[in-house]
Structure formats: structure tokens, C-alpha cells
Structure 1
């Protein structure tokens, strides 16, 4: 499923801002200086948490009903909706750093030709794996 809606608990901070937790997702915690920032951070937190569960091949728990969640007088429950598709796309296209080992003479020759090592490696990997650019 691509769309997920989970209840989030917004708890008013002692001085300012809000702490946001997701009762169904232990460890999914964030905060914001005001309601708007807290809601933005809650969406991002939910996206990354569910993406992480999916990547680790862990079961994504079903969300609770908002009415079943009890909160203190300085807190409230609201629903946070996200779609995992755009997050998957973003994360899969995120650049990562890999160390490679090549002979010194090869590095020198490539440097003389001003080759971009990342581009050459990507090209070679795609060629080897039979992947065509879209």
C-alpha cells in the first residue's frame, strides 16, 4: 500500500513547541517550534519510519483508531497522511559514497583524461547489469 494514515500525538512543550509521537510506531518521535513545523516534521518522521520498516522487511503495523488514544490536557491527536511512492523514488535516487580500489597507474591515466570516476563507474555498472537509462 502506498498511502498511510496514522494518528499522531502532539504534546505541548513546557516552554514552546510540540513533541510529536506515533503510538503505533515506537521510536517515531519528532518535534517542532510551532504547530505548522511540528506537522511538517511529523510527516517527514512518518515517511522515514515507514520507509525504514519497509527497507528492513519488517511488518508495518496497522494504525490505531484516533478515538482509542488517551492524551493529557496539553496534548491532542491528529491524523498524519503520507504516500511512500515519492519517498521510495527519492531514496532510491539518492547518491551514496562507495570506496573503490584501483591501481595507481589507472588512476593517473584517468586523471590525465579528466574522467569523472562516478560517471564512469555508473556507466560500467549499468553496462554490466544490462540496465538502460530511461
Structure 2
């Protein structure tokens, strides 16, 4: 089954004096916030991508998005349609770096440092060679 490239979900932006803008996704039962509208929208997009990517990776069903016009709002709330381009999210998670602790003999560590050898690069090249 082909994965969806772009999702659109309604979010509710809640405004309160002196506080960050709260952002909730009623269809996904998750929330974030932002200092201003731009920051809130960027945070909402990041959260939407993370949640949907997690559902995809876990094989969970993606809930249908509600219609923007069906959102029930208070006076201090606004409905905003948030989109996310999933290929970018998926690729970012595939190429995400992780830290590993490596134990080396002291003499080998000293010799490598003396020669300005990039430990991460050497390890990556060696692992690729072993795997491929």
C-alpha cells in the first residue's frame, strides 16, 4: 500500500493573555504550543509529522481528519488547517544519527587523535563495508 505524501489535519489554536499559544489536534489527541503564531504553526507541523510517522511505523491506522468547519470553538480559539509533507519526515528519521560508546585501547586512541582521525567517519565506513 502506497503511503500518503501529505496529510492535512485541523488544529485548534488557543490564545490566552501572557501565555504561549496552545495548539491541539483533536483527531490525534496531542498538543503543543508556540510563542507566537509562526512558532505555534511550526511546532504544530513538527508534532503532526512525528505523530503520523509514529503511527505509520507502528502499523497503526491513521485517523481520518475532521473537517475544519466542524471544529467547535470558544471565543479565544481559532481552527487552523496544518499540513505536513511526510517524505521529508520519513527521510529525516531514516538518516537520524545516534550516539554509540566505543571502547578502544589507549594507544590506538592516542595514535588516532595525533593523526586527527574522525572516529565517527571511520566507524561508519567500516560498518558500511561490513554490511554491504
When normalised by structure 2's length, the TM-score is: 0.81
Equivalent residue for 2:46? 44
- Aligned equivalent of 1:19, options 19, 22, 37: 22
Using the alignment, how far apart are the partners of 2:33 and 2:25 within structure 1?
12
What TM-score does the superposition give when structure 1 sets the normalisation length?
A: 0.80
For the aligned residues, what is the CA RMSD?
2.1
- Equivalent residues of 1:16, 1:34 under 8 A apart: no
Paired residues, number? 129
Cα distance in 2 between the residues matched to 1:34 and 1:117: 41
CA distance in 1 between partners of 2:64 and 2:126 (Å): 42
**Alignment partners' CA distance in 2, 1:8 and 1:66:** 8
Q: Paired residue for 1:9, among 3, 8, 12?
A: 12
1:38-73 per-residue CA deviation (whole Å, 9 max, x = no partner) reads 222211221222223333443322212223321212
Alignment of 1:56-67 (within 5 A): 56-67=58-69
Deviation string 1:59-100 (CA, Å, 9 cap, x unpaired) is: 322212223321212112121111011122223223221112
2: CA distance, partners of 1:105 / 1:40: 48
SS for the counterpart of 1:40 is helix
In 2, distance between residues paired with 1:17 and 1:112?
50
Q: Indicate yes or no: 2:38 matched with 1:30.
A: no
Alignment gaps of 5+ in structure 1: none
Q: Which runs of 4+ in 1 moved over 6 A?
A: none
